Structure formats: C-alpha cells, structure tokens
Amino acid sequence: MDALENLMTRRSIRRFTDQPVAEADIATLFHAAMAAPSAGNSQPWHFVRISDRAILNQLPDIQPHSRMMLGASLAILVCADVTLEKHEGFWVQDCSAATQNILLAAHALGLGAVWCGLHPRTAWCEGVSRLLNLPHHVQPLSLVAVGYPLDAKDPAERFKSERIHINRW
C-alpha cells in the first residue's frame, strides 16, 4: 500500500479480535509515532502502552466515548512532557501528529485503530492522569485503541472543493 492509498483508506476501527497485537507491530507503531514533526523539533511526546485488562476496562468510565477499549487488547496513551517544549502550547499539535502517525501505521500494518480524544476535556485528562499515575508535568492528549480489525469499512469521500480558497477567503 503506498502512502497516499494508506491515508485515503484509513478509517476508525472500533471492534477487534481477541488476538494480541504482535510485538514487532507495536514497535513499528512507536517508531511511526516518534517520526512525527514537532514544533522546534522538540519531540515532547511520551507514550503509555496499556494492555492490562483491568486498566483498559476502566477507560470508558473516564472517557465515555471509548467503550471500544473493553474489546481492545492494546491502547496507547499519547501525552507530552511539557517541560520538553521549546514553543509553549504546541505540544497539542505535536502529540496530534504523533497520534495520526500511529493511526496510519496501524492501517498500513493491517491493524485497526481509533483516536479517542482527551485534551481539552479537563475531567477526562485528570481521570486518565490519576489512573495511569502521570506526573504533573505530563499532559495527556489522546488514547488510541489498537487491534486486529473485525470491521471492514469503505474509504470515506470527504473532498469539498468549496473548502479551498485561492489566495484570499
């Protein structure tokens, strides 16, 4: 699958088989995440790899739109050590780029994944920080559920030429 086909056919997958994700594939997901661009090349990201069933099962109690975690064998928390930032506040974009790279790498590997947002919902961020014991200088951005897909989804067509403005709005 070439890069354009990969990003044009990626969809959110929320139902997974019970099969644990292969170690080599998990390593590729983290390599892809850390290949992302970041402001000032500060790379402020950290990741929490979650496969503990008791922890996965608690995530929907904190983030109510993450019930797929109950059937996922792996979740990745994408977060930032804000003390590593060179340009204050850009950690959100940095971690978003890392999150998207995880989604695209998962799709390229034949895995399914879905981005579950945490930031800027304070209560969800606080809940996840408590559950995963994050230090105060670490801010969570997203949780990504990952697994072998049970759903097959067609590509989405979202192109709208009217959203493109030439030189001025």
Ligand X SMILES: Cc1cc2nc3c(=O)[nH]c(=O)nc-3n(C[C@H](O)[C@H](O)[C@H](O)COP(=O)(O)O)c2cc1C
The least CB distance from residue 132 to ligand X, in Å, is 17
Contact between 21 and 111 (Cβ < 8 Å) = yes
* Nearest residue to ligand X on Cβ basis: 117
Question: In whole angstroms, what separates CA 55 from the centre of its chain?
Answer: 17
Backbone angles phi, psi at 149, to 5 degrees: -70, 140
Query: Which residue of 30, 47, 90, 115 would you call a contact of ligand X, by CB under 6 A?
Result: 115
Closest distance to ligand X from the beta carbon of 146 (Å):
13
Question: Which residues, numbered 65-84, are part of the site for ligand X (CB under 6 A)?
Answer: 65-66
**Of 117, 121, 126, 131, the one binding ligand X by CB under 6 A:** 117
CA 166 vs. chain centroid, Å, equals: 32
Q: Spell out, one character per residue from 4 to 43, where the chain touches ligand X: x when CB under 6 A holds, - when not.
A: -------xx-x-----------------------------
> Exposed/middle/buried for 50, CB within 10 Å: 0-12, 13-18, 19+?
buried
Distances (CA, A) of 167 to 80, 160, 164: 35, 17, 10
Shortest reach from residue 37's CB to ligand X, in Å: 17
What does residue 117 show for φ and ψ, rounded to 5 degrees?
-75, 145
Q: Which parts of this chain interact with ligand X (CB under 6 A)? A: 11-12, 14, 65-66, 114-117, 156
